[in-house]
Structure 1
Amino acid sequence: MKKIIFFLNILTALGFAQQTPAPKQTKSILIMGGTAHLGNGKIQENALISIQNGKIMYVADGTLAKPAKHDLVIEANGKHIYPGFIAPNSTLGLVEIDAVRASDDESEVGSFNPHIRSIIAYNTESKVTETARPNGVLLAQITPRGGRIAGTSSIVQLDAWNWEDAVIKENDGIHMRWPNSYARLGWWAEPGGIEPNKKYAEQVKEIQDFFDNAYAYLQSNKEVKDIPYEAMNGLQDGTKTLFVTANGEKEIQDILLFKKKNNIQKVVLVGGYYAYKVADLLKEANVSVLLRRIHDLPMSEDEDVNLPYKNASLLMQKNVLVGLENSGDMERMQVRNIPFYAGSCAAWGMSKEDALKLITSNTAKILGIDDSYGTLETGKSATLFISAGDALDMKTNLITHAFIDGRQISLESHQTELYKRYKEKYESQEVKSDEKK
């Protein structure tokens, strides 16, 4: 009986669906009077933003332009307007409850799985997604985990009925975890130092052998179809990106050699903690970086405790294209904090508008969706939001309106429902207390 009750509770928890997706835009919308942060480093004060058929028709200076009539006018005086924030390298929608195996679709068995497509496991009904949208995170790259090559990611917008409706760019890249050149001893509570990884060369050779076999297959007659090797198609012609997770200086240098040897057109370094040490080489090889979660401790005990915050600035100074990612412990729940990672970067060596690029235009360029997303520009998707304050500051980020492809989406979540519920409770108690007085 207890087991039945337990599973009923789980089903009930999973049964609370996400907010109903907004319908397609049918009415023209004009946002006027706010400060528009365009996502490309520029600001437009007293902005006029026209939205029609899911697109931005124009972004103009309200002191100079006279707007045409629109069906809906939103007064944004004193508020701020931003492009939708983007969460790359995310498992959002792939795991709902860590302790419930049936809701965990982030990884598959095996070491080399380029053919695993994360998009077909993406759950648009995830309650965790609801917590990201009220902080301005409106797009995500859904990425598998596990093994040496985890699989293929896809990019989605976060307000949809199913994955087919959500997908923006399907099968955009393959994700690989590069081996470490050293091994840590002990466990996390009692680290015992580090030693060289004696199997490093062997592990790198395994990767090279897989790529050699895949390329040989793609150039062959293909009498017998090999699905994993088929998935590798697109790396040499640039239609797919290879995302490689690594943090060490030696590992990053080896990745650059690997890129050149295998003629891989587009490589993105994920993690990249020590990427600033080889920034010139990254720039020369045209390799972008998705920096690991910056709200973390340094990787070495003798480093500057603020190095994680400075990393993005150090790379930008070398003209390396850099964005922010959020993999790690409780990563799905932490997606909502991505704007505040950018805010911390702004406090350590870069302007607020440059920090904004880390989660808008830079990430859009890295993911190859910058033709439609990442900035507030004429002709691009009307995926944006309005905040009462600075969206990179957790004290003032208060979103009042959000749009994905021109559709005004719900900002309600389980948390806002609880907030309203208990707010009413304590307000009623205060009234009763006043009446007694």
Structure 2
Amino acid sequence: MSPRLPPSPRRSGAATALVFAAALLGNALGSSEIPAPVQTQPIALKGATVHPVSAPDIVAGTVVFENGKITALGADVAVPANAEIIDATGKHVYPGLISANTVLGLTEISAVRSTLDVAEQGAINPNARVAISINPDSELLPVVRANGILTALTVPEGGLISGQSAVLRMDGWTPEEMTVRSPAALHVRWPDMKIDRTPRARKSVEDQQKEIDKAQKTIRDAFAIARSYWQARKTPGPDFKSDLRWEGLLPVFDGTLPVFVHADTLAQIEAALAWAKEAQLKIVLVGGQDAWRVAPQLKETDTPVIIALATALPSRRDDPYDSAFSNAARLREAGVRFCIATNGQRSEAAHDRNLPYEASMASAFGLPRDEALKAVTHYPAQILGIGDQLGSLEPGKAATLIITSGDPLDFPTQIEAAFIDGRKIDLSNRQTRLRDKYLEKYRRK
């Protein structure tokens, strides 16, 4: 019998990767938390400091909600006789936080491809819909809930026209139960405008510029073709043929679906604004790291900005160290509508729970504290078109709120209870279970 040769490095590496992936997937089968049942009786939160966000704070206030809606709030309101009364004396009540740029529900472990469903193949996918791909059992959803994030805009990635996002509740059995609004927006990812002029550049300056021009032309041509399709569809002739891609853009031209353009650098933002004017479209800017540089133009065109990461590093060597930290304050001073979000990358989905601290950083660099709170509650609700349902505590709005030990933008603050549409949410998650497990381990020593 001839001696067995050792496995090749390639085969050994592949086998190791498969074992590693299998181990990870074993922990990614789904969360064990059970979605909350529908609210069946009125609930009254009494004695807390109530922060409506859209109105002055109410000390020792009461919030009453029934059938998933807030029915009353104030210092002295009538409580239904059959209400469940929760004593919140010494606590604080805030609207649930809103994450306005994330891939929650589309990713689990960024290094394991089988847990990713964030992007379609190809550059032009306006018909791709996030809502049908959501994983309600994601382990990441309970984690963000535990830090007060109860609503999120889940966004598609990839290509130039990525698809349609959805506003989701962070609790539910199915994607349909989780959906607040779908589609919420069409997402365009403006091509990178940077040109590598170093000696190590893989392509010439001319070739790089050609690629940039080609990508921008692809976006313009797609919208031009879709507009022609929209016009032709109004009075279709015998030769008219339906195209699902262009069907996905029809709500844009009908004025019912906003266009969110992802752009960070000054060149990207200026090009996107010029295109929006040329195409006669109202857009929302997502990312906007250099938005403060064109604040007057954004104000003039009434272009809102979803700031993705208020804790980013400067984009240029000669930028002030706090250029990202003070971005929100500068936009506010210029009268530009804005909100604060995370960067929305698949690799950062596990850290979306840190959203309140992005706003906290902005408040440390010129943004008033009450504005920082609005930047993750009231303002994202308005920009996402759900301001009539969420973002503040008002009669008639959804009873989506949190009870806290203090300011939710502060690290030490604990989220003690959360309600989504009046349903009391389980705040346990994989991280809290691990914490309790190892606390018990050292307690026994």
Equivalent residue in structure 1 for 2:428, among 412, 420, 433: 412
Could you tell me whether the CA contact under 8 Å between 2:110 and 2:346 is conserved in 1? Answer: no
Question: Matched residue of 2:121: which SS?
Answer: coil
CA distance in 2, matches of 1:132, 1:191: 41
Aligned counterpart for 1:254 among listed residues 264, 267, 271:
271
Cα offset for 1:273? 1.2
Secondary structure class of the residue paired with 2:28: helix
Q: Indicate yes or no: 2:221 matched with 1:198.
A: no
Q: Partner residue of 1:314?
A: 330
Inter-partner Cα distance in structure 2 for 1:4 and 1:389 = 45
Residues 226, 329 of structure 1: alpha-carbon distance in 2 compared, 3 angstrom cutoff: closer
TM-score by length of 2: 0.89
- Alpha-carbon distance between aligned partners in 1 of 2:279 and 2:413, rounded to the nearest angstrom: 45
What letter is aligned with 2:246? Y
TM (norm. structure 1) is 0.91
Which 5+ residue runs of structure 2 have no aligned equivalent? 1-14
- Check whether the contact 2:31–2:430 (CA below 8 A) recurs between aligned residues: no
SS of the aligned residue for 2:267 comes to helix
In structure 2, how many angstroms separate the alpha carbons of the residues matched to 1:77 and 1:244? 44
Which residue, out of 255, 271, 285, partners 1:238?
255
Structure with more of its chain in strand, by fraction: 1
Provide the rounded CA distance (Å) in 2 between the counterparts of 1:338 and 1:80: 19
| Aligned counterpart in structure 1 of residue 170 of structure 2, from 154, 158, 162 | 158
3-state SS of 1:235 partner: helix
Kindly report which structure 2 residues correspond to 1:395-410, keeping only aligned pairs within 5 A, or say none.
396-410=412-426
Superposed, 1:4-23 pairs within 5 Å as 9-23=23-37
Identity %: 34
Matched, 1:383 2:395: no
Q: Is the 8 A contact 1:141 1:153 kept in 2?
A: yes
Task: For 2:340 and 2:22, locate their aligned partners in 1 and report how far apart those are by CA, in whole Å.
Answer: 38
- Alignment partners' CA distance in 2, 1:41 and 1:344: 23
CA positional deviation for 1:135: 0.5
Does the aligned pair in 1 maintain the 2:106–2:134 contact within 8 Å? yes
1:418-433 equivalences under 5 Å are: 418-429=434-445
How far is the alpha carbon of 1:329 from its aligned partner?
A: 6.5
**Residues 353 and 225 of structure 1, relative CA distance in 2, 3 Å threshold:** same
Contact 2:261 2:286 in 1 (8 A): yes
Residues 40 and 353, structure 1, Cα contact 8 Å, conserved in 2? no
Find the aligned partners of 2:20 and 2:218 in 1 and give their Cα distance: 44
Among 272, 284, 294, the residue aligned to 2:300: 284
| 1:94 equivalent among 86, 106, 115 | 106
Encode CA deviations 1:253-284: one digit per residue, 9 max, x unaligned: 222222222222x3100111111122122122
Of 351-360 and 402-411, deviating more is 351-360
The Cα shift of 1:100 comes to 2.5
For structure 1, which segment, 113-122 or 7-16, has the greater mean C-alpha deviation from structure 2 after superposition? Answer: 7-16
CA distance, structure 2, for counterparts of residue 416 and residue 376 of structure 1: 28
Counterparts of residues 293-372 of structure 1 (less than 5 Å): 293-326=309-342, 327-328=344-345, 330-372=347-389
Deviation at residue 191 of structure 1 after TM alignment: 11
Q: Which secondary structure does the structure 1 equivalent of 2:331 belong to?
A: helix
Aligned: 1:373 with 2:385? no
1:198-252, CA deviations, whole angstroms, 9 ceiling, x for partnerless residues?
Answer: 1333322221111111111111127211111110112133210101011222332
Is residue 141 from structure 1 mapped to residue 153 from structure 2 by the alignment?
yes
Residues 114 and 149 of structure 1 are in contact (CA less than 8 Å); yes or no, is this contact kept in structure 2?
A: yes
Corresponding residue SS for 1:58: strand
Give the one of 60, 84, 87 matched to 1:46: 60
Code of the residue aligned with 1:165 in structure 2: it is E
Name the amino acid aligned to 2:259: L
Match of 1:210 among 189, 211, 222: 222
State the alpha-carbon separation in 2 of the partners of residues 345 and 12 from structure 1.
38
In structure 1, the gaps of 5 or more residues are: 430-437
Query: 1:385·1:403 contact (CA, 8 Å) conserved in 2?
Result: yes
Tell me whether 1:273 sits opposite 2:289 in the alignment: yes
Q: CA deviation at 1:399?
A: 0.7
Q: Output the amino acid matched with 1:268.
A: V
| 3-state SS, counterpart of residue 219 of structure 1 | helix
Query: Structure 1 residues 98 and 251, CA, compared in 2 at 3 Å: closer, same or farther?
Result: closer
| Partner secondary structure for residue 399 of structure 2 | coil
2:243 counterpart (222, 226, 237): 226
Which residue number in structure 1 is paired with residue 84 of structure 2? 72
The runs of at least 4 consecutive aligned structure 1 residues that moved more than 3 Å come to: 1-11, 64-70, 184-187, 194-197
